[in-house]
Structure 1
Amino acid sequence: MEKQIPTYDKDLEVLPELASQSHNGESIEVDKAEQARILRKVDLYLLPIITLLYLMSFLDRSSIGNAKISGLSADLGLKPVQYNIALSIFFMSYVSFECLYFTRDCSEFWRIGRSENLFGSLGSWYPRHALVFRFCLFFSAATLAGAFGGLLARGLVELDGTGGLEGWRWIFIVEGLITVVVAVCAYFWIQDSPESASFLSVADKKVLASILARDMSGESQEFSWPETRAAFGEWKVWTSGIICVGIALPTFSFALFIPTIINGLGYTATRSQLMTVPPYVVAFFFTISVGWLSDRLKVRGIPLLIFTAVGIVGYTIQISVDHQKLNVKYFATFLSAIGIFTTSGLNIPWLSNNLRGHSRRATGSAIQVSIGQLGGVAAAYIYRQQDSPDYVMGHSLALGSLVLAFVTTALQSWWMKKENDALDRKAREEGVDDGFRFTL
């Protein structure tokens, strides 16, 4: 007997057939207003804490840039290359722990991918086309951390001499203590999954499960070794990884070196810290706005291409404009920040949108992010002290990295369009269509 293809009303956000499969025969129809209410409830509970976690994470990893121009290198007697090595060690350990997370208990990997990883957590709470805006809200914490970090560092260096410690040491002490407190609170606050969420009523859990069932088109939610292994054979995982590392290199190098780059333009350390704030603030608004528009239009590739191009223009200006034109070079930092942070918020959830099955999605996202972190290792070495004040090599490598991301994004979008066309033909000719299409 031919399998019947589920159908649904345009005004409903949930396939009744799939909803009933999820609730022991009970059919739940969810209109748009009800879906908005449930997702808003999840937003208010989940997004503030994970955004705060990521804010502290990015603040901690970028604080060394502010510490450097506040006397870290001079007080420790660091040679230029030793500072770069210190930066790379952080990212090497970061990648290593990603791998350990995968290998420490493979039977638990699916749960880790969904719940303990922040992005994996978002993917288990929201339907595909409501995900990018939420991820951009979450990722915008990186830009807030950059803005807040400059202001905080400016204040903390005034503690110079307190307790017999240099001002730059207080940057690490205070920010590190705040992170520890936030992490402890997050441990008790974040819920494992929608099914066990204490802040949702039984009825709300059923509605959210129905929304997710509609979006998953009957996907299995059980851990599957074949699906986990299949993720390594997905070409989209590797192209997304290339895009991720192409964006990560300029993103991390910007966070680590922007105080030094601005300081190299001839400004004092204090003013340089304050001047890092405006580019981050502008990037914050672009990240959120483009994320909202991307979900609204259900498109990822085009905004990725547009804002990768914006970043390319920014670094091109940095390379080509004379060092004496300080205002123009400072303006270029705005373009660079807008380009790299906006695209970072789009690329990571794009892959999650296009992998089917929780095990495959969790594995693929872990591979993608691990590849991206390698960009952080390379980023630690591209801005060398001997290249000051123009830093042509660093800007050129960041530019080339974004060009790689741009070309790979274009190829990935083109190939997924071809796959969607093939699915359309199959639906017309064979009458087989489960409703899934790749998000372009």
Structure 2
Amino acid sequence: MIGMGCVEDWTALTGLRVLLGVFEAGFFPGTWYVRYDTGKRYGVFYLIGSLASALSGILAYGLMQMNGLAGYAGWRWIFIMEGIITVLLGIGGYFLIVPFPDQDAWKSKFFLTKQEVEFVIATVEEDRGDSKPEPFNMVKFLRPARSPKVWGFAMMFLCTTTMAYAIAYFLPIILRDRMGFDIAASQCLVAPPYAFGALLMFAESWFGDKYHVRGPQILTNCVMGITGLAITGWTPTVGSQYFGIFLLTGAVQANIPQVMSYQANNIRGQWTRAFCSATLVGFGGIGGIAGTMIFRPQDAPAYIPGLWACITACLIIGTICISLDLYFMRQNKRAAAGEIALEGSDGSFRYTL
């Protein structure tokens, strides 16, 4: 049973649901696009989610005005209405989502012709040589578990989703308890930082695809996130603290597609991709659990332990990214010298820094 004293806090769950949906559905573009097209596609995918999060607070506040209608509290109407919308979209998605390229995707109505699907498969095959699935083999499926980079990607995503869920759930509460805004203002002020994050993530994704880089954006977002946390936590004015939230929210939102693109660009093979996708989703879910415990009620109104936890997460992401880039750089040099063939390729594959 949820106490009425927590009614307004439940409005923050709207953003959480949006994040849950996009985290679970975000690996499909990797099968349709070559490595340096995936960044923009992930960026657009999460841009939609970020904009939805920007509007979620306003929507939640609007639904709260239904308080008392049919005898239900306002927070119950949030779950009822958004649940109905989710179900309707899910039913529509069943008929609209196309299958993978190798699974007769050309049979989907209003999509691509058979020749166009074959062109997509040929393009992906030329880029990384893994467009066609191999027969399932448990040994091949589990083989990537021996690679430290796989768990490095997963840990980066865990830290990113920890902060993303923490922000999605607690940002309205922080705006209210720490900065002194009322409930309506707290919900509405969630929107601008998420809108900024949407623009930033697409700009970084476009840059990464054009210049074939992922690590610099991730590291930039880590620095921006730490800066935003410091400004939010240790500056005296509400205006500067809100500016810090802009930096933090933008950095975290932008890093979601960047980490996913970083992983997608540096693995090869259908079963490797399947295993790595599973680890990313799994660790992302763990981050979601951790995110709900970052900003604890007993730490209000300053939430200093939560701020330090997020700073630590940024440092972990940055450390792993630098370590992987140094490893990838060394392996690329060995491949260029003809010493090794990367990821079981014919020798043409190179890691993306």
Tell me, yes or no, whether TM beats 0.5. yes
Query: Which of 322, 328, 333 is matched with 2:240 structurally?
Result: 328
Q: Equivalent residue for 1:288?
A: 202
Residues 125 and 193, structure 1, Cα contact 8 Å, conserved in 2: yes
Note if 1:377 corresponds to 2:289: yes
Structure 1 distance, partners of 2:279, 2:287, is 14
Q: CA deviation at 1:74?
A: 4.1
1:400 counterpart (301, 304, 312): 312
The amino acid of 2:258's aligned partner reads: L
Counterpart of 2:91 in structure 1: which amino acid?
V
Deviation at residue 220 of structure 1 after TM alignment: 5.4
Amino acid at match of 1:276: V
1:202 aligns with 2:202: no
In structure 2, the partner of 1:271 is 185
Determine what percentage of the aligned residue pairs are the same residue.
28
The residue type equivalent to 1:146 in the other structure is S
Question: 1:5-404, aligned counterparts within 5 Å?
Answer: 74-75=3-4, 118-195=25-102, 196-197=104-105, 198=108, 199-217=111-129, 221-225=133-137, 226-264=139-177, 265-322=179-236, 325-404=237-316
Aligned residue pairs total: 334
What is the SS of the residue equivalent to 1:438?
coil
Q: Deviations over 1:388-427 (max 9, x none)?
A: 1111111111111111111111111111111111101116
> 2: CA distance between counterparts of 1:281 and 1:366?
29
SS in 2 for 1:382: coil
- 1:434 shift after superposition: 2.8
Computed over aligned residues only, the root mean square deviation of the Cα atoms, in angstroms, reads: 2.5
Aligned to 1:4: none
Distance 2:212 2:47 in 1: 20
Q: Which secondary structure state, in structure 2, belongs to the residue aligned with residue 299 of structure 1?
A: coil
**Aligned counterpart, 1:46:** none
* Paired residues of 2:335 and 2:347 also in contact (CA < 8 A): no
CA displacement at 1:352 relative to structure 2: 1.7
Which is further off, 148-157 or 177-186?
Answer: 148-157
Secondary structure, aligned partner of 1:194:
coil
CA distance in 1, matches of 2:234, 2:291: 21
| Segments of 4+ moved more than 4 angstroms | none
Distance 2:4 2:86 in 1: 25
Distance in 2 (alpha carbons) for counterparts of 1:169 and 1:183: 21
Gap change, CA 1:159 and 1:214, over 3 Å in 2: same
Separation in structure 2 between the aligned mates of residue 247 and residue 120 of structure 1, nearest angstrom: 16
Aligned equivalents of 2:6, 2:219: Cα separation in 1: 43
Q: Distance in 1 between matches of 2:296 and 2:129?
A: 50
Change (3 A) 1:176 1:341: same
Amino acid in the other structure paired with 2:67: D
Deviations 1:169-226 (A, max 9, x none): 1111111110000011111111112241222212212211211111123675213423
The one-character-per-residue Cα deviations of 1:98-145 (angstroms, maximum 9, x if unpaired) are 9xxxxxxxxxxxxxxxxxx63332111111110111011111233112
Amino acid at match of 1:301: G
1:210 and 1:243 mapped to 2: Cα distance? 32
Q: For the residues of structure 2 that align with 1:422 and 1:353, how far apart are their CA atoms?
A: 18
Question: SS of the counterpart of 1:129?
Answer: coil
CA distance, structure 1, for counterparts of residue 6 and residue 254 of structure 2: 37
Considering only CA atoms, is the larger Rg found in Structure 1 or Structure 2? 1
Going from structure 1 to structure 2, the CA distance change for 1:433 and 1:357 (only over 3 Å counts) comes to: closer
Amino acid aligned to 1:125: W
CA shift for structure 1 position 335: 0.4
Name the aligned partner's letter for residue 267 of structure 1: F
Shift of 1:260: 0.1
Check whether the contact 1:143–1:281 (CA below 8 A) recurs between aligned residues. Answer: yes
**Structure 1 residue 278: Cα displacement:** 0.7
Corresponding residue for residue 62 of structure 1: none
Partner SS for 1:221: coil
- Flag the 1:183–1:219 CA change in 2: closer, same or farther, 3 A: closer
Between 182-191 and 203-212, the greater mean CA deviation after superposition: 203-212
| Structure 1 contact 314–336 (Cα < 8 Å) conserved | yes
Q: Which residue of structure 2 lines up, in the alignment, with residue 61 of structure 1?
A: none
Taking a change above 3 Å as real, the CA distance of residues 421 and 168 of structure 1, as seen in their structure-2 partners, is: same
Q: For residues 60-88 of structure 1, what are the alpha-carbon distances to aligned partners after superposition, in whole Å with 9 as ceiling and x for unaligned?
A: xxxxxxxxxxxx9641779x9xx9xxx9x
Tell me the distance in 2 between the aligned counterparts of 1:119 and 1:385. 32
Runs (5+) with no aligned partner, structure 2: none
Could you tell me how far apart the structure 1 residues matched to 2:291 and 2:250 are? 18
1:439 corresponding residue in structure 2: 352
Displacement after TM superposition at 1:433 (Å): 5.5
| Residues 120, 277 of structure 1: alpha-carbon distance in 2 compared, 3 angstrom cutoff | closer
* Cα pair 1:319 1:395 within 8 Å, conserved: yes
